[in-house]
Structure 1
């Protein structure tokens, strides 16, 4: 595995899933980045067409063959604006 410390992932699509009353916002990370990613904590920044949004520390999870990154529900208004649209992410590995 060729893990790197900082990574720009362009064009990930914001999605939402519901489980009862609970909502989860997330993005799938493209398979072509798998060789650079690992489980554990990452400092994440989202880049939209208007601004950079510091998301903070997040963990990556596997869902099938893909890594998935959940987005904080506290930023729900922002994610609602970008549902189905692409954003860019900067991930920085936290030791």
Structure 2
């Protein structure tokens, strides 16, 4: 029962972050629609990681695969913040 509770919470938290990320991007980029910002940011990482994991499925350690996914998620989110700050300083 505890395992099911933890797994369901993991699904709910990730679903909640997907639903609320749009509000964050609307706040960050008020002139751009969120689908124009969110899709180009995550799609190259998603396709690249999916291709890599498909090719090396049995060779890659599961823990390393998960840590790589979290690292790429962090870097892509951080790149948006850096890009946003550079755009603000260029226009000032």
Q: TM-score range by the shorter chain?
A: under 0.3
Report which of the two structures shows the higher radius of gyration computed on alpha carbons.
Answer: 2
The structure carrying a bigger helix percent of its residues is 2
The structure carrying a bigger strand percent of its residues is 1
Alignment TM-score, normalising by the size of structure 2: 0.26
